[in-house]
Structure 1
Amino acid sequence: MRILLAEDDPALRRQLAEALADAGYAVDMAPDGEEAAFLGESEPYDAVVLDLGLPVRDGLSVLRAWRAAGITVPVLILTARGTWQEKVAGIDAGADDYLAKPFRMEELLARVRALIRRAGGLAAAELRCGPVTLDTRTGRVTVDGRPVALTAHEFKVLSYLMHHPGKVVSRTELTEHVYAQDFDRDSNTIEVFVGRLRRKLGGDLIRTERGLGYRLEAVR
Structure 2
Amino acid sequence: MATTIDRRRLLSTAVLGGAGIVGATALGSLAPETALAAEPVPVAPGTPDPNFAEGRVTSITGTMLLVTGSDTTLHRIRITSGTSIWKLHPTTFDRVEKGDGLYARGVRLPDGTLAADSLWVNIVNLQGHIAAMGRNVLHLDHRGRRIVGHIVPGTTAAVYNGTPAVSDVSLLRVGRHVQVIGAWHPDTNEIDIATVYAAA
Q: TM-score range, shorter-chain basis?
A: under 0.3
Q: Which has the higher strand share?
A: 2
Q: Which has the higher helix share?
A: 1
